[in-house]
Amino acid sequence: MSNDKLRVPTMGQCMAEGKQPEILFWVGSAGSFDDRAKKITRAFVKILNKANVDFAVLGTEESCTGDVAKRAGNEFLFQMQALMNIEVLNGYGIKKIVTCDPHSYNCLKNEYPGLGGNYEVVHHTQFIQDLINSEKLNVSGSLYKGKRITFHDPCYLGRANNEYNAPREVLKNTDADIVEMKRHKQTALCCGAGGAQMFKEPEKGDKDINVLRTEDALSTKPNIIATGCPYCITMMTDGVKNKEKEDTVKVMDIAEIIATAEEL
Amino acid sequence: MEYLSNILFAIVLVAGIGFFTKNVLRLSRNIKLGRDVDVSDNKSQRWKNMAKIALGQTKMVVRPVAGFLHIIVYVGFIIINLEVLEIIIDGLFGTHRIFALLGSVYNLLIGSFEILAVLVIVAVVIFWIRRNVIRIKRFINPEMKGWPKNDGNIILYIELVLMTLFLTMNAADYQLQLLDAPHYTKAGAFPASQFIASLFSDMSISSLIILERTAWWLHIIGILCFLNYLYYSKHLHILLAFPNTYYGSVEPKGKLNNLEAITKEVKLMMDPSADPFAAPTEDASVPEKFGASDVKDLSWVQLLNAYTCTECGRCTSSCPANLTGKKLSPRKIMMDTRDRLEEVGKNIDANKGVFVDDGKQLLGDYITNEELWACTTCNACVEECPVSISPLSIIQDMRRYLVMEQSAAPVELNNMMSNIENNGAPWPYNQMDRLNWVEE
């Protein structure tokens, strides 16, 4: 990977220069702070830079969407976060948002409109697919030739919002063999992190959900488990470690796969 | 005296339908105990959903074996009940096979009823084997012990008996037609029951008439009993699947409603000109309870969901928490909600129309915190349900009660939430560091 400096303008800077970027990149808390998720954020920005996308981030003006509080049952905290964020977003006149986190995506797309935040929201896999379709981005590398990739559907992208194709279409642009798990698309099993489970110990049971899901994935004999959610990445990575397969099976986000295919 | 059987039939019919009406009224009273919710939107989409999901059985065939067998029983049930119309007319007016005047169409109808009846018997036997011999896991989960298990089998037995009576009735009738018995019009085609009829070849006309009449009476009495069994059974889905798919969510599954009562509070809190010490106005109402701890806190659509659930367990068999041995079973959430609602309904009946506090509630006495906190909100249960039930929405509303009314979230979640309150992220990082990833 080259180490060219990322170009990441903030909305504040754009405003000072009198510019209105086409799209806001909502980084999300995981994408900002989680060490593993930050790599996804950087990979996606490399793609945005490469395709010369006119974007900006909120930077320090961004705050948690409140999604995780809402799922935990704290509607109060969710609405405080949402109303604060909506003030910032509307203040900048944001029309379109892209995010790498399906939970932010779902929340911004479905739950913010009722509180006065109306934006066109896309998930980064949908955005990358658009870049490829409109030939703003070419994926030509043969880095993944002969590799087996299985895609784990994030619940909040798949079942929650019916997007099963975009990530698969993007993957088709690599030379990899796409293999499906038995449970995929509508019947995909959760990684175990949703509904605020990411932040607590699981309830008593006989197995961890991420281990069960990793078994689903490993049964396809993959070289790479791909997904499109920072929480899924954490859960699946832990699952692969639990199965002691971390030397042979990588867990990667779609953005990382595309960025490395293009040697960005 | 010649009208005795007509009068008797009318009495049986009125009693059957009357008792059923009483149960329907009780059902609707109980459902209306729920909070009001506006479902007057998206009418055309709702009709489409009902046509596709309930009438068209699109969700059933996702699991092809059970789906195919279910369609047989479903089609059989609907079509064979055309026959009931004829039975009612014949019973009330003393006619016999009144629709025979349809001629060849009638033959086609009766012939297809017979074939369907045989297919239904086959399907019902396979269903019984799946429940009792193969013991498919979703039929033997802990919440299926006792009444739910018996209920499932009783329904199969009733269907088996009804179909057998129908075929016996036709067989005796066919045999009587062959013997030129008076009053027995030569009508109908009997592709299945003609084989049963050969067993009756030695019987006299009078005993054949007794057999035919007995089967006829038992068949219609059986149907009326079955109709009245519905209210006490998971089998209520044959009626409620239709309204339930109509009122089911037309939003993306990921969308969780925003509580309006809270929006008011939060806006007031964020309003710099609001006076926090202002005395409440004269007409200020008591703040709405946040979330749900009992059935009356749920919406009436959620209560309709509970009555519609037929305990098939597809939700539970796809629930990641349940698959990994956690206590949560989405089906149990629905069964508990219905059981508690029934308990509340009986309480109201016993106390002359008023609910007297019984010291119990849905939360704690039926559904435990452990179950609620095991949910990953992945929507697998919602996706699976063949009749558009959302166990997830009930789980979410109960979590809201736990967190906002009781502050009873697991301690790790409390930490996560105070992080969001203090630094705008679920982890303890400074909001000013949000852009550090650019330089790393």
Each domain of chain A, given as residue ranges in start order, spans: 11-130, 139-261
Mean residue pLDDT across chain A: 96
Indicate whether A3 pLDDT > 60.
no
Considering chain B, what percentage of its residues have pLDDT values greater than 70? Answer: 100
List the CATH code of the domain at A11-130: 3.40.50.1860
Asked if B370's CB is within 8 angstroms of A204's CB, the reply is: yes
Closest CA to B382 of B243, B260, B259, B255: B255
Pairing of strands A177-179, A23-26: unpaired
Whether A179 contacts chain B with CB within 8 A: no
Residue from the list B325, B383, B416 with its beta carbon closest to the beta carbon of A206: B325
Q: Is B271 on the interface with A (CB under 8 A)?
A: no
Are residue B202 and residue B77 in the same domain, yes or no? yes
Q: Do A80 and B251 touch (CB under 8 A)?
A: no
Domain contains B82: yes
Q: What residues of B are in contact with residue A42 (Cβ under 8 Å)?
A: 437, 440
pLDDT tens-digit map of B355-390: 999 999 999 999 999 999 999 999 999 999 999 999
pLDDT at B208: 94
Residues of B with Cβ-Cβ distance to A28 under 8 angstroms: none
C-alpha distances in Å from residue A91, one per residue of A95, A184, B22, B56: 11, 40, 58, 48
**Do both B98 and B174 map to the same domain?**
yes
pLDDT tens-digit series, residues A199-246: 999 999 999 999 999 999 999 999 999 999 999 999 999 999 999 999
pLDDT in tens, A128-173: 999 999 999 998 778 899 999 999 999 999 999 999 999 999 999 9
Smallest Cα distance from B426 to chain A, Å:
7
Q: How far is A61 from chain B (nearest CA, A)?
A: 8
**C-beta atoms of A27 and B434 within 8 A:** yes
Using an 8 Å CB-CB cutoff, list chain A residues near B323. 189, 209, 212
Tokens read off for B397: 């509303």
Report the pLDDT averaged over residues A6-21.
96
Euclidean distance between CA atoms A106 and A85, whole angstroms? 15
B277 close contact with A: CB closer than 8 A: no
The CATH number of the domain where B322 resides is what?
1.10.1060
Is the same domain home to B267 and B408? yes
Interval B332-347 mean pLDDT: 98
Please give the C-alpha separations between residue B283 and each of B35, B261, B271, B280, B287, in angstroms, as whole numbers: 22, 16, 21, 8, 12
Determine contact, residues B384/B323, Cβ cutoff 8 Å: no
Q: What is the pLDDT of residues A181-190, one digit of tens each?
A: 999 999 999 9
Q: Which residues of A touch B266 (CB under 8 A)?
A: 76, 79-80, 83
Q: Which CATH architecture has domain A139-261?
A: 3-Layer(aba) Sandwich (3.40)
pLDDT of residue B422: 94
Where residue B338 falls among pLDDT bands split at 50, 70, 90? very high
ipTM of the complex: 0.95
d(CA B306, CA B339): 9
**pLDDT exceeds cutoff 80 at B213:** yes
Range of the domain at B349: 260-275+288-431
Residue A46, both tokens: 């490399």
Q: Which neighbouring-strand residues pair with A121? A: A97
pLDDT reading at A1 higher than 50: no
How far apart are the CA of A199 and the nearest CA of chain B, in angstroms? 6
Q: Are residues B220 and B356 in the same domain?
A: no
Q: B377 in contact with A at a CB cutoff of 8 Å?
A: yes
State whether residue B401 sits within 8 Å of chain A by CB: yes
- Is A88 within 8 Å of chain B by CB? no
Query: DSSP character for B94?
Result: T
Of B383, B403, B432, the CB nearest to A74: B403
Hey, is the C-beta of A141 within 8 angstroms of any chain B C-beta?
A: no
Pair of tokens at residue A215 = 């078994």
- CB-CB neighbors (< 8 A) of B382 in chain A: 159
Closest of A31, A50, A26 to residue A41, by C-alpha: A31
**What is the number of alpha carbons within 13 Å of residue B146 lying toward its C-beta?**
3
Q: Are residues B219 and B308 in the same domain?
A: no
pLDDT digits (tens, 9 = 90+) for B102-154: 889 999 999 999 999 999 999 999 999 999 999 999 999 999 999 999 999 99
Burial of A186: CB neighbours in 10 Å, binned 0-12, 13-18, 19+: middle
pLDDT tens across B57-72, in order?
999 999 999 999 999 9
pLDDT value of position A109: 98
Is residue B438 a part of any domain in this protein?
Answer: no
Do B96 and B41 lie in one domain? The reply is: yes
CB contact, 8 Å: B435 with chain A?
yes
Partner-chain residue, chosen from A64, A75, A198, that has the shortest CB–CB distance to B404: A75
| C-alpha gyration radius of chain A | 18
CA distance B122 to B157: 12
Chain B residues whose CB is inside 8 A of the A198 CB are 426
Question: What's the rounded Cα separation, in Å, for the pair B390 and B349?
Answer: 28
For residues B235 and B156, state if they share a domain: yes
Residue type, A255: A
Please indicate, yes or no, whether residues B348 and B222 belong to a single structural domain of this protein: no
Inter-chain CB proximity A76 and B324 less than 8 Å: no
B193 lies in the same domain as B154: yes
The position carrying tokens 């990441």 is A8
For residue A61, give the DSSP letter: G
Query: Which three-class secondary structure state does DSSP give residue B282?
Result: coil
Instruction: Using a CB–CB cutoff of 8 Å, tell me whether A186 touches chain B.
Output: yes
Which helix (H) or strand (E) covers residue A99, if one does? strand A96-99
Tell me how crowded residue A224 is: count the other CB atoms within 10 A of its CB.
20
pLDDT of residue A2: 47
Domains A11-130 and A139-261 share a fold: yes
Number of structural domains found in chain B: 2
Chain B residues with CB under 8 Å of A187 CB are 318, 380, 383
Q: Is the confidence at residue B3, as pLDDT, over 80?
A: yes
Q: Is the pLDDT of residue B28 over 70?
A: yes
Q: What is the DSSP string of B4-27?
A: HHHHHHHHHHHHHHHHHHHHHHHH
Residue B439 lies in a domain: no
Q: Among candidates B142, B134, B66, B61, which has minimal Cα distance to B322? A: B142
Whether B14 and B81 share a structural domain: yes
Q: Both B232 and B265 in a single domain? A: no
Distance CA A151, CA A251 (A): 10
Q: Determine the 3-state secondary structure of B197 from DSSP.
A: helix
- B329 shares a domain with B212: no
- The percent of residues in chain B predicted with pLDDT above 90, rounded, is 85
Question: Which of the 8 DSSP states describes residue B35?
Answer: B
